[in-house]
Every structure is written in structure tokens, then in C-alpha cells.
Amino acid sequence: MTQLSVNVNKIAVLRNSRGGSQPDVGVAAAACLAAGAHGITVHPRPDQRHIRTADVYAIKPLIEGHLEFNIEGNGFAPARGDYPGLRALVASARPTQVTLVPDGDAQLTSDHGFDLSADAARLRPLIAALKDYGCRVSLFMDADSPDIERVAEIGADRVEIYTGPFAQAFASGDFSRELELCASAAERARAAGLGVNAGHDLSQKNLRALKSAVPFLAEVSIGHALIGEALYAGLDATVRAYLRLLAWA
């Protein structure tokens, strides 16, 4: 069965907009896990616009030993303020999985995958270091990337297919090409011995189509849509709805 990892960044955005500690990221994560989510994803950034370093340590005890903790981030972004840098954070928190994403402060959200023709040489030692901490490593990759097979060559364990273009095309009603690209990327990754994750703008509306096209998906990381839907239905009901979709195909 495809695992559901709930990204709780948006809970932190809401908290930070007001200051203080409410809504509590740890309480929200616990509610998702109680509803059956298989893990929690956080994506701390150096500017700490949402998830903060302290949130990582608050969530870790909820998960440790029996569920998945996925930390996303740019492994090359320098430490800043209370943010120690991704590698130092991972060395301390020891998540189950690290998903490396080529994002920067100027990006509102992650909007592209790695270009391994430019990044492979510096990714290889970083991936090795992260795996030395006992973490599985996944690389955020575009569905149309020519570099899918190289992800295995540089030592990563999985790819996370960037599904933003698919989700946008789905919303427009003409998504067959983008879905085919996702399915092709997943098949290429599997043939190279990689596990396949997917994430970005997945929702209850488009998830079934993706899961049907890629039935062997290992994990989906879903945050923005799930938290938005939960405003109406509640976290428990929304997480359970996603789990039913993932179990369907």
C-alpha cells in the first residue's frame, strides 16, 4: 500500500502569521497520525517561514521507532539564525527519510527538481553523508527529467516525482500527457532499482488518477491541499479520506 506522509508546514504558516504557539504543529501531527497517516513530512527552510528547528524536535518523539519522519530541504543552503543547516539538523534528528529539494528563499514553494548534469557531483557526497546517519535519501525530480536513472548512480534510494505540472493540468481538464510523464518517470525509476515517491499539489481530486497510473507508488507527501480540505472536514476525516483513496487502487 502507498504510504501517506502528511506535510504539516501549513500549520506552521498559520501559527507564524499570528505569533505564539497556536495552532500547535505537534498536536496537528499527532492528530494526523491518530487518523492513520503513515508519517509526517516537514520542510524547514533557512528563513524559517513556516517549520522551525524546534518543530522538528517536537515532532520526532511522536514518530520515533514506528512511523516515518521525512525531512525535506536544500542540503546546500547555509545555516542561518536558529536554522543549523539541513545536514546538521538531520544528524541530530535522524529522520527515516531525507528528501533533497533544490529550493531557495525566492521560491514561494518547490517548483522544480534537480538537474543532475549540474548537481550530481556535489550531491553524491551529501547523499553518502545523509545515509551514514541511517536515513533513506530521496531526490525531488521533474517527471520529464532525463536524469532519473542517474539518481541511483549517485547513491539515492528513491525519487520523489514533482507532481505540480500534473496537478495543474488535471485542474484544467487536459492532463493525459503530464500523467504519462509521471508514469514513465516512475517506471524508469523502478527499472533503475529506485523506490518512487510523489508530491506537490496532490489532492483528493487528482490522487486516484496518479495512483492508478503508478500503482507501485511507495509514498505520497501531501500538505497544502490536505490542510485546506481539513479546514472544512477536520484533520481526522480528511486523513482517512486520503487513506481510502490510496487503498482503492
C-alpha cell at 117: 548534469
SS3 225: helix
Query: b vs e for 114-145, b when ≥16 Cβ sit within 10 Å of the residue's Cβ?
Result: bebeebbeebeebbeebeeeebbbbbbbbbeb
What Å distances lie between residue 72 and 5, 43, 89, 133, 248, CA to CA? Answer: 12, 5, 11, 15, 27
C-alpha cell at 67: 512511523
Instruction: Yes or no: say if 70 and 39 are a contact pair by the CB < 8 Å rule.
Output: yes
Give the active site residue among 72, 160, 178, 229. Answer: 72
Phi-psi region of 119 (alpha: psi -120 to 50; beta: other; left: phi over 0): alpha
Strands 39-42 and 97-100 come out as unpaired
200 noted as active-site residue: yes
C-alpha cell at 197: 515517491
Give the active site residue among 43, 68, 160, 178. Answer: 43
149 noted as active-site residue: no
Give the active site residue among 38, 50, 200, 229. Answer: 200
What Å distances lie between residue 96 and 4, 21, 79, 217, 248, CA to CA? Answer: 14, 26, 22, 17, 26
| Cis amide bond preceding 78, omega within 30 | no
Catalytic residue numbers, as ranges: 43, 72, 200
